[in-house]
Structure formats: C-alpha cells, structure tokens
Amino acid sequence: MDNIDRDISLSHDHDDDGYDDYDKSEDIIDPMYAIYLLAEFKVQDAFKPFTDILKLDKDKVDFLLGDIKFDFGAIIASVSTENDIPYIKTIIENKSLNVYQNVAAINVLVTLYVEGVYKREDLFEYLGFLLDYFADDCGYLTNVVNTCYDVFAKEHFDKIFEYFEKDLIDEFIIGRDFFEEGIKRNDEEKSLEKLKNDSDRRFITDTIKCLQYWACFKEKESSNFYTTNKPKSNKKAKKKDKSKKTKSWKK
C-alpha cells in the first residue's frame, strides 16, 4: 500500500521530465502487481487509494496505470462493498473527469451488479437517472447508453431511441442500428451471461491470469514494462451506421 500511496504523491509532484525518468524504471511493476494482489484478496483498505487514483486528471491516470486502466473498474469493485456505492456515484457524476475515467467508475457498479452485490433494480434505476443527468453531454451520455445496452436495461430503451433521434449520442461509438439489432437478439438473461464471461466486469480472482500478457513477463524486452498484449475482445465493433432506421425495436 505504501508503494501505491508513493505513486499517487509522485503524480502530484512530478514535472514532465519526471514522467520520463519514472516510466523507464522497472520499479513501476511493483505497485502495479500490488494493485492486482490487493484486489484479488479483497483488501478493503485499498478502496480509498484506488479511488484517489481514479479521480486524478487523465494524464496522471495514464501515467500511473498504463493499460491496467481498462481493468480498473473491476479492480475497484473487488475491494468495494455495498456501502461504497454512494461514493462511487459521486465519481461517476463528476463531469470534470475524463470520459474514460467515467467508464471505469460505471464499470465498478456493473461489476458489483454481475457479482450480486448491487441489486438489479437499483442499478437500472440509477442508469435512468444518469440518462437524464448526462443528457447535455454526448461523451458521458454515450457511456451510459453503452452500459444500458450491455445490461439490457429495457425500461430505458424508448428514451435512448429519443436521444438517437435528437443526435445526442455519439454514433461512432454505438450506432442506432447496431443498438437496435443487438437488443432484438438479446434479452436480460443472455446479457447477464455475457457479462459473467467478461473479465472486465468480474472480480479479480487470479492475479497471474490477469498479468500473463504483460510484456515484462516475456523474454523479449519491451519499452513499456506494463503494456499488455492481451488478446482483443471478440465483441463486435460498435461502428457508426447511417442505414435506414426501423420503426420499432420491440418484438
């Protein structure tokens, strides 16, 4: 934990040259490895330093976490309890944070839902609140729409199609036709099963398995010690689709 606190402090104090010097040091591996171990063993004292990292500005988050920022929602969820959910919501609703940090914070709640900690009705009600709260911000709103798609929050689909009609959603990230065809093929049960098979939305339970793709554990040297070569997800790309819109998503 001391290493992680040291790195947070360093991120506040460094200059640009400090980034370069620190990034070249293999010392960065220790706190990264520690983060996963703390998550695996569900050390709840790690919740505060982990969320402190998430609230830093984007450059500092990139500096401290590298590629593990994409796992950070599951990492934080692994050391969270139901009592931590209100605090996670304050991070989600902080519009000064980068949209990718917003994604990580939302994924904390999704992971807690998948793991049975956060009730379905509570998550879905909160997603409805976020659809209104972020209605004037395309980036954040698109994150919420993606989440509604992933968890199959069907009670919000009519509102989401209204937002598509008003061009409030970034269709390069998730197109209307992709969204509509996807929800016709899925239901809540199928969507939950997919989430259970998504390591980015599950508790950290095996540090070695999580880190086996790291370049630092390969014989070939890498310029970035904690860049992963993790296989790409088999999820379909959510690309913009300007084809003719259908009238109704409902079966």
The per-residue pLDDT string of the chain (251 residues; one tens digit each, 9 = 90 and over) reads: 655 555 545 444 544 444 444 444 456 788 888 999 999 999 999 999 999 999 998 889 888 888 888 899 999 999 999 999 999 999 999 999 999 899 999 999 999 999 999 999 999 999 999 999 999 999 999 999 999 999 999 999 999 999 999 999 999 999 999 999 999 999 999 999 999 999 999 999 999 999 888 877 776 555 554 555 565 554 444 444 544 444 556 65
What is the tally of structural domains in the chain? 1
Spatial CA neighbour of 24 closest among 217, 226, 220, 212: 226
Answer yes or no: is 199 within a domain.
yes
pLDDT given for residue 198 in this prediction: 96
Helix and strand tally (H, E) in the chain? 14, 0
H helices of 24-98, in order, are: 29-40, 47-54, 58-65, 72-78, 85-92
Inside any domain, residue 104: yes
Q: What percentage of the chain's residues is helix, strand, coil (to nearest 5)? A: 65, 0, 35
CA–CA distance, 167 with 208 (Å, rounded to integer): 43
Q: How distant is the alpha carbon of residue 89 from its chain centre?
A: 14
Secondary structure of residue 194 in the 3-state scheme: helix
**Residue 18: per-residue pLDDT:** 46
- Decide: 32 and 68 in contact? Cβ < 8 Å: yes
Q: How far apart are CA 149 and CA 144, in angstroms?
A: 9
What's this model's pTM, rounded to 2 decimal places? 0.81
Q: How many CA atoms lie within 13 A of 110 on its CB side?
A: 33
Does any domain span residue 233?
no
Residue 61, SS3?
helix
Range of the domain at 92: 2-217
**Which pair of structure tokens corresponds to residue 64?**
């401290």
Looking at this protein, which amino acid is placed at residue 142? Answer: T
Whether 248 is covered by a domain: the verdict is no
> What is the spatial distance between Cα 152 and Cα 249, in angstroms, rounded to a whole number?
13
Q: Is residue 164 part of a domain?
A: yes
Q: Identify whether 237 is part of a domain.
A: no
Return the pLDDT at 235: 47
Closest Cα partner for 26 from 219, 220, 228, 216? Answer: 216
Strand partners, 228: 214
Does the residue 231 lie in any domain? no
Query: Does the residue 67 lie in any domain?
Result: yes
| Helices of type H across 84-217 | 85-92, 99-114, 120-133, 138-151, 157-165, 176-185, 188-196, 207-211
Contacts of 106 (CB under 8 A, 6+ apart): 73, 92, 130, 143, 144, 147
